[in-house]
Amino acid sequence: MAVVDETTRGEGRVIPATKIQVVQNLEGGIVRELRVREGMRVKAGDVLLRIDPTRADSSLGETRERILGFRVLIQRLEAEVERRPLKISDELRRLAPALVKRQEQSYEARMGELKAALDTLSLQAQQKAQEIVELEAKVLSQKKALEIAQREIKILRPLYKQGAISHTDILAAERRLNEAEGLLDAAQLALPRIRAQKREMEERRAEKQAAHRSDVLKQLTDARVQIAALEEQNRGAADTVARTTVRAPASGIVKTVHVTTIGQIVKPGSDIVEIVPSNDTLLIEARIRPSDIAFLRPGQPATVKLTAYDFALYGGLDGRLEQIGADSISNERGETYYLIRVRTVSSRLRHGGADLPIIPGMVAQVDIKTGRKTVLAYLTKPLTRMRQDALRER
């Protein structure tokens, strides 16, 4: 005997299966290009609109210029610290030739100034070294002169006592002895002073070199700190430029476009576009009469018929009952119903090899299969009901 399906029917509409995606822009700005309209289907990554990037591009360009400047500066400072010739990379020469030229000139001037100062101190130290050599030679010479003068006076004194020489002769010899002693003492006293002056020149040279190195190292540290901060700032500026091209975060259908004209000002953080994400399934919210709710169970198969597309021509979508409202609801007309949700197996209704658009808000009829019954049972159901009612009458 033939068997037919028992169904419970409800009227409803397509609702978003996932949360609506609200597209915003952190910085805002002036709309330069608008590419979407309401109801338009978009894919993830599609351009929705473009915001004038002039200000963002300017900020990014300025940051990158400063980064290039610090990169060239760091190469110059590293060459100074290592006391080697300056060799700027070909990349920087190509990207910032003017900056490279200025740093090369600065390198030559600074290294020339340092070399001149060090050479002056080296020359002064060498002069003191030469004075030390001369004084040491003079000490030796005066020691010999003193020995001669001492021998001479030793010879002349006995002769003076014998009357062989005059008093003038002995005075002259004593004067020569005193002169030799004075010159020797002067040379010996000068040596420590000249040696101290030489050490001072050498120390001043070392201090000059160390001070220059310390200053360059400090500049190098500061430059590296600055460039690290600028690189972070550059990433932020690049992100800002990238955000001037507003893209769809997910595939779906454009529900609302809050921007309507080119040149319109978008406030920072304001809503720009709302997108209903597309899914492999659809969610249908339908109303069921209280008299039919007792036969429904989650998981029951269902057929969704969209009123926008003739079921006889386009067919429907298979689905399953997913959720049943916990309580009945009454509307302003006094109608009471239960809300149910049916999820379709597919989100596409195909006809002629093409997908038919299905968007939230479309009206749908939902047939939920609640059981099976023979044709005979359908035919005899009115008679059975009449008999049961008649048996209860007095």
The 3-state secondary structure of 97-124 reads: HHHHHHHHHHHHHHHHHHHHHHHHHHHH
CATH architecture entry for 59-242? Up-down Bundle (1.20)
Task: Work out the pLDDT band at 347, boundaries 50, 70, 90.
Answer: confident
Q: Judge whether 263 and 15 are in contact, CB under 8 Å.
A: no
Fold match, 59-242 / 279-391: no
pLDDT at 390 over 70: no
The answer on pLDDT for 153 being more than 60 is: yes
**What are the φ/ψ torsions at residue 128 (nearest 5 degrees)?**
-65, -35
- Percent of the chain at pLDDT > 70 equals 93
Residue 381 burial (10 A CB sphere; 0-12, 13-18, 19+): exposed
CA distance 235 to 63: 10
pLDDT bin (cut points 50, 70, 90) of residue 357 is confident
Superfamily for domain range 279-391: Efflux pump adaptor protein, beta barrel domain (2.40.30.170)
Considering Cα of 152, then 153, then 158, then 163, what sign does the dihedral take?
Answer: positive
The pLDDT tens digits of the residues spanning 205-261 come to 999 999 999 999 999 999 999 999 999 999 988 998 999 999 999 888 898 999 989
Higher-pLDDT residue of 357 and 184 is 184
We find that the CATH architecture of domain 20-52+244-276 is Beta Barrel (2.40)
Q: What is the pTM of this model?
A: 0.57
Overall average pLDDT of the 2-25 stretch? 83
pLDDT digit string (tens) for 269-290?
Answer: 999 999 988 766 788 999 999 9
User: Domain map of the chain by residue range?
Assistant: 20-52+244-276, 59-242, 279-391
- Do residues 11 and 340 touch, judged by C-beta distance below 8 A? no
